[in-house]
């Protein structure tokens, strides 16, 4: 199957600093990647859709100036948490969209997920 990596796998930082998380599709090109945040009670929250070569699309309630997304190549998207605060502590997961078959009217599209990044802000 397709492989998506994330780096770092975990990070501890001081309040007020910025943290960058990388998401890479290792064996396929991804024009679209997604960033999720997962809360302790397990539900996934889609934060934004990252499109290669264009601005990210943010979900309602997600501050785009706080969560900066850059998708500069077909295999790399980055999420930067700026001026991090303890309430930003969470598990951040990225995924990369891949066309896997189907037909023009019913394309089979799957998302392949990275292993996640655990962020702890002190």
Partner 1 sequence: GEDVEQSLFLSVREGDSSVINCTYTDSSSTYLYWYKQEPGAGLQLLTYIFSNMDMKQDQRLTVLLNKKDKHLSLRIADTQTGDSAIYFCAESIRGSQGNLIFGKGTKLSVKP
The residue ranges that bind partner 1 (CB under 8 A) are: 1, 4, 6, 32, 34, 42-44, 46, 49, 93, 95, 97, 99, 102, 105-116, 118
Q: Quick one: 65 or 103, whose CB is closer to partner 1?
A: 103
Rounded to the nearest whole angstrom, what is the least distance from the CB of residue 37 to partner 1 in the complex?
12
3 in Cβ contact with 110 (< 8 Å): no
Q: Quick one: 55 or 85, whose CB is closer to partner 1?
A: 55
Query: 69 to each of 13, 83, 102, 110, 122, how far by Cα in Å?
Result: 19, 15, 30, 21, 23
User: For residue 43, what is the DSSP state?
Assistant: -
């Amino acid at each position: 199957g397709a492989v998506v990596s994330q780096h770092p796998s975990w990070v501890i930082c001081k309040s007020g600093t910025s943290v960058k998380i990388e998401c890479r599709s290792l064996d396929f090109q991804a024009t679209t990647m997604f960033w999720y945040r997962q809360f302790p009670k397990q539900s996934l929250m889609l934060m934004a859709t990252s499109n290669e070569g264009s601005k990210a699309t943010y979900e309602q309630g997600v501050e785009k100036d706080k969560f900066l997304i850059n998708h500069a190549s077909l295999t790399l998207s980055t999420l930067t948490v700026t001026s991090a605060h303890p309430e930003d502590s969470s598990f951040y997961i990225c995924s990369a969209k891949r066309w896997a078959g189907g037909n023009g009217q019913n394309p089979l599209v799957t998302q392949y997920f990275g292993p996640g990044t655990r962020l702890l802000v002190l």
